[in-house]
Chains A and B, each alone.
Chain A
Amino acid sequence: DVKVTQSSRYLVKRTGEKVFLECVQDMDHENMFWYRQDPGLGLRLIYFSYDVKMKEKGDIPEGYSVSREKKERFSLILESASTNQTSMYLCASSLLARPTLAQFFGPGTRLTVL
């Protein structure tokens, strides 16, 4: 059974803290994605990566950075968390050669910044 896992389901942090969200997939996928999900806005792409150490900005990269040191792991970093980053964060992965088949999603991390 294919899997995308995220390090935490719920996370509470304080304004100004550095926050790490981890995502791991076991499907040997090249593509990995970070989205944030907000009511009425759907999913918006923050960053994606199509290979180790490669990254590209999505639609809303401001305030975020990413790291991909290993193929199976893609980390989202909030350098200095702010209250407007309170959201649900979803990680996804897909095959580089067959990106149109599907993206596989993790369970999400609900982050609250106080």
Chain B
Amino acid sequence: AQTVTQSQPEMSVQEAETVTLSCTYDTSENNYYLFWYKQPPSRQMILVIRQEAYKQQNATENRFSVNFQKAAKSFSLKISDSQLGDTAMYFCAFMGYSGNTGKLIFGQGTTLQVKP
């Protein structure tokens, strides 16, 4: 069975600095998808960034980028130039490719606080 692990329950960063959130996963599949979701306080969860495992190039979305290490089964999220609005809980998630039904497996979450 696939598992996703986020080993940092809480993190903080000063505004304008860079922070990296860690995520590791375990799977026997070769093709799959990885996601980072953001859940701001009292607001809806939204997709931050998505990575397809067959693509070697790391995904980027503006200030958000990932470091995808397939052999190490690692998928970290880097937030550059942190802003107060980045304060949220961040979830790493895995979706298998075979028999794809759209099911996601989530990590435990990392609460990020951006300090002014």
B3-40 near A? 1/0 per residue, CB < 8 Å: 01010010000000000000000000000010101000
Question: Which of A43, A99, A105, A106 is close to B102, meaning CB atoms less than 8 Å apart?
Answer: A99
Cα-based distance from A44 to B109 in the complex (angstroms): 12
**CB of B47 closer than 8 Å to a CB of A:** yes
Give the nearest-CB partner of A56 in chain B.
Answer: B101
B69-99 near A? 1/0 per residue, CB < 8 Å: 0000000000000000000000100010000
Residues of B within 8 A of A56 (CB): 101
**CB of B60 closer than 8 Å to a CB of A:** no
A42 touches B102 (CB 8 A): no
Residues of A within 8 A of B102 (CB): 31, 33, 48, 50, 94, 96, 99-100, 103
Cα-based distance from A48 to B6 in the complex (angstroms): 24
**CB of A45 closer than 8 Å to a CB of B:** yes
Residues of B within 8 A of A61 (CB): none
Cα-based distance from A41 to B3 in the complex (angstroms): 12
Tally of contact residues, B, Cβ under 8 A: 25
A105 touches B45 (CB 8 A): yes
Residues of A within 8 A of B107 (CB): 42
B101 touches A42 (CB 8 A): no
Q: Known contacts A50-B102, A99-B102, A100-B33: does B45 contact A40 (CB below 8 Å)?
A: no
Residues of B within 8 A of A92 (CB): 45
17 extra interface residue pairs, beta carbon distance < 8 Å, beyond A100-B52, A107-B43, A108-B44: A4-B44, A31-B102, A33-B102, A33-B103, A40-B9, A42-B91, A42-B106, A43-B106, A45-B103, A45-B105, A50-B101, A96-B102, A99-B95, A100-B102, A102-B50, A105-B46, A106-B44
